[in-house]
Structure 1
Amino acid sequence: MTLHYIFDPLCGWCYAAAPLVKAARSLPGLRVAFHGGGMMMDGDRRPITPQWREYVIPHDRRIAAVSGQPFGEAYFDGLLLDRGAVMDSAPPTTAILAAEAIAGRGLDMLDRLQRAHYVQGRRIAEPAVLHAIATDMGLSPVEFDHAYADLEGGPTRNHVAASRELLARVGGRGFPTLVLETDDRKLQVLDLSTWLGKPDAFREHLAGRLPATAPAQVEAEAPFCGVDGCTPEA
């Protein structure tokens, strides 16, 4: 059985859901497949500005309160004051694809990127930072650089297009979306709003649903980021 995770590396609510994904990955017999959605790519890339900082800080405070995920001073008082930083989903998504291609560690790379962004305040859209993170993970820097070069541009855009097609097919509203694919290939969207901040309970719930047949409903009030950015209510 497969749990499909549709996300973006710069989505705050995906960072909130990271402990749930980690809990799901610990379940034997369940494969977690990732699908990067390209929330901030091309014309949707965003520079860090004072207005952006004022907009995201209340949302980040809420994410921390709901999920228990840490945010560092280097993020709030470093990256969010860094006028030269650009939020671009394409490079970190390519890095995730590269880590998966050479070592099957795409989700590990996502975890590292989220911590680098939200705790360490690093510019995860810059290839030099991605190279350093890959090296810190123990990946071969030469293999990572080659895979990154092969996967940037068109291959990354193709991955994002396929991810958005899946999101539309299951009726997902944005990022994060978790979809359980059962043995009979039925797709069931899981409601995350109940489980944020409760990874152990989510793991138990998911373990009990592995043979499930009834699809879950997407809760209208569940926090998420839309395909073009985090919603004001998130």
Structure 2
Amino acid sequence: MSTLQIEFFHDVVCAWCFVLAPRLKQLQAEFELDIQHRSFILQSSREAMIQRFGSMPQAKETILDHWQACARAEDEKRINIPGMREQDFEYPNGLLAATACQAAHALAGNAGHELMFDRLQWAHLVKNRNIGDKATVLAIAAEAGFDPQAFAHSLQHDAPALLERDLRQGRELGLRSVPSLVIAERFRLSECLTLKQLRQVLSDIRDNLDKTEAILS
């Protein structure tokens, strides 16, 4: 069985990405998946959040309503909605966290990106830490084992260009939502499937990989 590449476009602040990520990992060995992590931010500034949701309080309220649907769909039931409601910081946009994932990528490749993405999502959705705060993000990086000085340097100097590369790739693919998967460079999936559904899709793609050139959307 040959390796099946998946480009996983995600936003750290996206709860649906949090739901999908462990399902991909659960199927990684079964399908010999090469999961490449890509950042794709839906809102990258406070101004963009206000434009999208009307105000920062409304942004938090609307997004936590989305969290409820994600919590119902999640296999492991980790999402902590009451904890986030108790926090007094504004709901963060995805820019800083995505940049941190790219800093980790610069230091430790795709495995570093995956590690930082997982740690930041856990901090955000389970522990309800403010991943829009630079000091918090640097602390999470240190907890994940990154050298603090090297990580801070990478965050400032290496990560922005890497992030722009991922964003440009997502735009060129026409992505409008996360999570989005690009499978074997030909098939695009932009929804959060159940484990059973995802297994079936991957099985169908592997069985028919040589028979089709269509892009699924």
**TM-score of the pair, normalised by structure 1:** 0.73
Do the aligned partners of residues 191 and 95 (structure 1) sit closer, same or farther apart at CA in structure 2, a change above 3 Å counting? Answer: closer
CA displacement 1:115-153 (0-9 Å, x = unmatched): 111111111122211111111111222221111111354
Larger CA deviation: 4-13 vs 157-166: 157-166
Contact 2:178–2:191 (CA under 8 A) maintained in structure 1: no
Query: In structure 2, what is the equivalent of residue 7 of structure 1?
Result: 10
Instruction: Give the distance between the partners of 2:60 and 2:103, measured in 1 at CA.
Output: 30
Contact 2:102–2:160 (CA under 8 A) maintained in structure 1: no
Do the aligned partners of residues 40 and 217 (structure 1) sit closer, same or farther apart at CA in structure 2, a change above 3 Å counting? Answer: same
Contact 1:189–1:216 (CA under 8 A) maintained in structure 2: yes
Do the aligned partners of residues 124 and 30 (structure 1) sit closer, same or farther apart at CA in structure 2, a change above 3 Å counting? Answer: same
CA displacement 1:7-39 (0-9 Å, x = unmatched): 111122212212223224445743111221121
Query: In structure 1, what is the equivalent of residue 67 of structure 2?
Result: 60
Instruction: Please list every run of 5 or more consecutive structure 2 residues that lacks an aligned counterpart in the other structure.
Output: none
SS in 1 for 2:13: coil
Query: In structure 2, what is the equivalent of residue 178 of structure 1?
Result: 181
Query: In structure 2, what is the equivalent of residue 226 of structure 1?
Result: none
Larger CA deviation: 53-62 vs 92-101: 53-62
Do the aligned partners of residues 142 and 210 (structure 1) sit closer, same or farther apart at CA in structure 2, a change above 3 Å counting? Answer: farther
Instruction: Give the distance between the partners of 2:30 and 2:153, measured in 1 at CA.
Output: 32
1:35 aligns with 2:31: no
SS in 1 for 2:130: coil
Do the aligned partners of residues 146 and 6 (structure 1) sit closer, same or farther apart at CA in structure 2, a change above 3 Å counting? Answer: same
- Work out which of the residue numbers 61, 75, 96 in structure 2 matches 1:91: 96
Query: In structure 1, what is the equivalent of residue 198 of structure 2?
Result: 202
Larger CA deviation: 66-75 vs 140-149: 66-75
Contact 2:60–2:90 (CA under 8 A) maintained in structure 1: no
Query: In structure 2, what is the equivalent of residue 227 of structure 1?
Result: none
Query: In structure 2, what is the equivalent of residue 228 of structure 1?
Result: none
Do the aligned partners of residues 153 and 192 (structure 1) sit closer, same or farther apart at CA in structure 2, a change above 3 Å counting? Answer: closer
Give the 5 Å matches for 1:70-109.
Answer: 70-72=78-80, 73-78=82-87, 82=88, 84-104=89-109, 105-109=112-116
Do the aligned partners of residues 38 and 20 (structure 1) sit closer, same or farther apart at CA in structure 2, a change above 3 Å counting? Answer: same
Contact 1:103–1:139 (CA under 8 A) maintained in structure 2: no
Do the aligned partners of residues 205 and 97 (structure 1) sit closer, same or farther apart at CA in structure 2, a change above 3 Å counting? Answer: same
Do the aligned partners of residues 21 and 9 (structure 1) sit closer, same or farther apart at CA in structure 2, a change above 3 Å counting? Answer: same
SS in 2 for 1:175: coil
What displacement does 1:191 show?
6.4
SS in 2 for 1:15: helix
Instruction: Please list every run of 5 or more consecutive structure 1 residues that lacks an aligned counterpart in the other structure.
Output: 219-234
CA displacement 1:43-94 (0-9 Å, x = unmatched): 414598442333223321111111234222322322xxx2x43522111111
Do the aligned partners of residues 212 and 174 (structure 1) sit closer, same or farther apart at CA in structure 2, a change above 3 Å counting? Answer: same
- How many residue pairs get aligned? The number is 203
What displacement does 1:217 show?
3.8
What displacement does 1:174 show?
1.5
- Report the aligned-residue RMSD: 2.8
Instruction: Give the distance between the partners of 2:140 and 2:115, measured in 1 at CA.
Output: 11
Contact 2:13–2:94 (CA under 8 A) maintained in structure 1: yes
Q: Which has the higher helix share?
A: 2
Larger CA deviation: 54-63 vs 88-97: 54-63
